[in-house]
């Protein structure tokens, strides 16, 4: 079987790290900024960055509705941090009116933006991750947490009692950034599921 073509949404955020991580995990990775590029990929990664800025750019680039449609159609997706926020069906603390993070509705969950950030901006923690051996060194940067999950959503990891990694079918999301640590197991989990 040929390597899956996995796009990385490249409007804003840490795109490059995900491209490298995906290649190392066995995918053919490419950037997605246009509708035609979105149409051409088998799956999509939404990187960390700023979910309100990414939402604004999704509208500007006329990608918001096409992306929602592909996700509704079952295109697998993985979101880290800002990407987790966008994959949610509901966002708490979405931002000021006119400059809000817009939910893509791929995972039945409520995600609170900057949830850990109220206590501390960034931190690192070794978390147990369902399906992976040993712990994952998780880097949290103004990270969200998950406040509610629907019946079909599996919680794969928690931090401070809050879900920080979830999966619903072929949709995966982490509140932390595995793309920055050199540990490719989370990306491999995603790529191997395609």
R_g over Cα of the chain: 15
| Residue among 141, 149, 157, 173 that touches ligand GLN (CB under 6 A) | 141
81 is catalytic: yes
Task: Tell me if 142 is assigned to a ligand binding site.
Answer: yes
Report the alpha-carbon distance of residue 123 to residue 8 in Å, rounded. Answer: 25
The nearest distance, CB 187 to ligand GLN, in angstroms, is: 16
Pairing assessment for the beta strands 107-112 and 88-92 based on DSSP bridges: parallel
DSSP calls for 105-164: --EEEEEETTTGGGT-SEEEEEEE-TTSSSEEEEEEES--EEEEE-TTPEEEEEETTEEE
Nearest CB to ligand GLN, comparing residues 134 and 160: 160
Instruction: Give the x/- contact pattern for ligand GLN in 57-96, rule: CB under 6 A.
Output: ------------------------xx--x-----------
- Decide: is 48 part of the binding site for ligand GLN (CB under 6 A): yes
| Residue among 113, 184, 187, 188 that touches ligand GLN (CB under 6 A) | 113
- Residue tagged active-site, from 17, 18, 56, 179: 179
Q: Is residue 133 exposed (0-12), middle (13-18) or buried (19+ Cβ within 10 Å)?
A: exposed
List of residues contacting ligand GLN (CB under 6 A): 48-51, 81-82, 85, 113-114, 141-142
């Amino acid at each position: 079987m040929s390597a899956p073509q996995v796009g990385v949404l490249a409007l804003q955020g840490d795109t490059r790290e995900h491209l490298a991580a995906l290649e190392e995990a066995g995918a053919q990775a490419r950037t997605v900024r246009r509708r035609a590029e979105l149409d051409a990929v088998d799956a999509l990664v939404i990187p960390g960055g700023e979910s309100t800025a990414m939402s604004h750019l999704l509208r500007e680039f006329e990608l918001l509705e096409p992306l929602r449609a592909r996700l509704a159609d079952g295109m697998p997706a993985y979101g880290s941090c800002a990407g987790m926020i966008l994959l949610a069906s509901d966002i708490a603390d979405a931002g000021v009116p006119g400059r809000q993070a817009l939910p893509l509705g791929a995972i039945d969950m409520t995600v609170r933006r900057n949830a850990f950030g109220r206590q501390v901006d960034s931190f690192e923690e070794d978390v147990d991750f369902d399906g992976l051996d040993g712990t994952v060194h998780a880097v949290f940067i103004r990270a969200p947490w998950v406040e509610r999950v629907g019946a079909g959503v599996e919680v794969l990891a928690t931090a401070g009692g809050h879900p920080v990694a979830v999966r619903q079918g072929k949709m995966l999301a982490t509140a932390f950034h595995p793309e920055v640590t050199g540990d490719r197991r989370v990306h491999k989990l995603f790529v191997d599921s395609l």
